Amino acid sequence: MPFQLADRVHETTTSTGIGSIALGGAANASKLTFLAGIGAGNVTCYCITDGNAFEVGVGQVIAGSPPTLSRDRVLASSSNNNRINWTAGTKTVFGVAPAQFFMMLANNGAGTSRPWYALPGTIWSRSSDWQAYLFDGQQDRRLLQAGDVESALPGRLGVRAFDITDWNNALENGWYMASGATNAPPGETGSGAWWMGFVERHNELYVTQTVHAFSGNSGPNNTMVWRRRRFNGTWSDWYKLQWSQQEQDARYALNSHLAQFGIATNTVTTRNTSPNTLTNGGFYYVSPNADLPVANYWGYLHTEVSDVTSHRKQTFTTRITNRTFFRQMSSNVWSPWTEYITTDNIGNYAPPGLGVGQTWQDVSAQRQVQTVYQNTTGKPIMVLFGATGSGTQRMSVSHNNSTWIEMALAQNNDNGRYIYIIVPPGHYYRADNAGGFGRWLELR
């Protein structure tokens, strides 16, 4: 990267920000472009101005469409000698021979100071002429011991972080800080939101930024580290690289975190509220409540949540009586509580056998042949029908009062001429014979 100066190098640019500038062509026919006067890959001195602000520095001419000029080192500027964050509008950029150049020649003569136009990341040495070498720890130490003098660093690599107003403009290696800057990470906003961080750069299209809240609005316990990348010229969203101490305590302290979901190290969490409000998945110890299946009992509640917020399941077990109930929510509507059948309560739900708790009753006065009756007792019943007269006597049963099944019959010569049938709960029954009957008994 030889150093080169040339007369009449003068172009325009409309680039903005603090990065490299795109060269827009010679200012007029009497001027040269940087590419023609300095040459691609060469280092030179430049001045950029919009008529008010100015920046004098050192950069490298890079061929392309359009050609660009890097701004590697600022020698002087109207922004406290820092790189200027150019806004929209046309600026002029032209080649110069800065005063610093001649002052160094006058002060150093043929001394051993490193060339003032040296770009960061190179080691310089001289025999008959200055030559640049790649960085090498041993070589660098030897040169410095021989009297190599470090030239001034750019602001972003100086003794304090470089001030910016927009994190999108921090594109070069270095340390930056901002108060109330735009495009900062989320969480800390306003004029008092200080951020500090560093930039790692491949080129202006591929950059990584890592920053932290220097004095957050929520205090130092809420300081956190964020990172984002610029990939092919496009910034990603900020993502949290490190939680604050406050966030870590809230997330990893077992009792405090799991208790939010009814889970702790040695007990479930007591809730004196309706189970309808316990919509987070977890285990709870609940007090008596009207929305529980048995309102006057303490008990244990387990809530399960699906991937849809309007669908859940709850299971409730009473503390003393060993009764367990469950219900489900569908589209934000709870179903009625349903009790599990166990060895403790099976007698409350399983129907007893025929005859258990039932007695024979004479219903002859309330019954007639060819008339439909229904078993509404909720239990199976037995019907005894004693027919009279000649002919065949029948008893039929139907589950829907439409389709009938003949259950028993007695011929006129059968001994005793009695018919016995069992009628399930809810079923219909009738006597089909045309004659009368002597007795009609029901076990119910």
The tens digit of pLDDT for each residue in 252-286 reads 655 554 555 555 545 556 788 899 988 888 888 89
Quote the pLDDT of residue 119. 52
Quote the pLDDT of residue 378. 85
DSSP lists the bridge partners of residue 60 as 43
Neighbours of 1 (CB within 10 A): 13
Q: Which of these, 324, 298, 285, lies nearest to 315 by C-alpha position? A: 324
Question: Which residue type does 430 have?
Answer: R
Quote the pLDDT of residue 418. 79
DSSP character for 110? T
CA 360 to chain centre: 70
Neighbours of 300 (CB within 10 A): 16
| Measured CA distances, 151 to 70, 118, 123, 156, 353 (Å) | 18, 8, 12, 14, 105
Q: pLDDT tens digits, the chain, 444 residues: what are they?
A: 688 999 999 999 999 999 999 999 999 999 999 999 999 999 999 999 999 999 999 999 999 999 999 999 999 999 999 999 999 999 999 999 888 777 766 555 444 445 555 555 555 554 444 444 444 344 433 343 333 344 456 778 877 889 999 999 999 999 999 888 889 888 665 555 788 899 999 998 999 999 987 765 555 556 678 899 999 999 999 988 877 666 666 666 555 545 555 555 455 567 888 999 888 888 888 999 999 999 888 999 999 888 777 889 999 999 888 899 999 999 889 999 999 988 777 777 766 678 888 999 999 999 988 899 999 988 899 999 887 766 677 889 999 999 999 888 776 655 457 788 999 999 999 988 766 778 899 998
**C-beta separation of 222 from 216 below 8 A:** yes
Domain boundaries along the sequence of the chain? 10-97, 100-152, 156-247, 254-348, 360-443
Quote the pLDDT of residue 150. 45
Neighbours of 95 (CB within 10 A): 23
Whether the link from the prior residue into 185 is cis, omega within 30° of 0, is no
Quote the pLDDT of residue 109. 47
In the structure encoding, which two tokens stand for residue 205, read together? 């299209």
Quote the pLDDT of residue 145. 38
CA 10 to chain centre: 52
d(C-alpha 59, C-alpha 41), whole Å:
10
Q: Which of these, 35, 39, 33, 52, lies nearest to 2 by C-alpha position? A: 39
Residues 6+ apart with CB under 8 A from 246: 218, 221, 222
In the structure encoding, which two tokens stand for residue 94, read together? 């032209």
Q: Which of these, 71, 76, 181, 49, lies nearest to 120 by C-alpha position? A: 71
Quote the pLDDT of residue 148. 39
**Whether pTM exceeds 0.75:** no
**C-beta separation of 92 from 27 below 8 A:** yes
Exposure of 337 in the CB half-sphere (CA atoms within 13 A): 18
d(C-alpha 320, C-alpha 325), whole Å:
14
Share of the chain above pLDDT 70, in %: 75
152-158's contacts with Cβ under 8 Å and 24+ in sequence apart are 152/73, 153/120, 154/72, 154/73, 154/74, 154/83, 154/120, 155/74, 155/81, 155/82, 155/83, 156/83, 156/199, 157/120
**C-beta separation of 286 from 302 below 8 A:** no
Q: Reply yes or no on domain 360-443 having CATH 3.40.309.10.
A: no
For 256-275, give the DSSP string: HHHGGGT--SSSPEEE-S-G
**C-beta separation of 217 from 188 below 8 A:** yes
**C-beta separation of 412 from 390 below 8 A:** yes
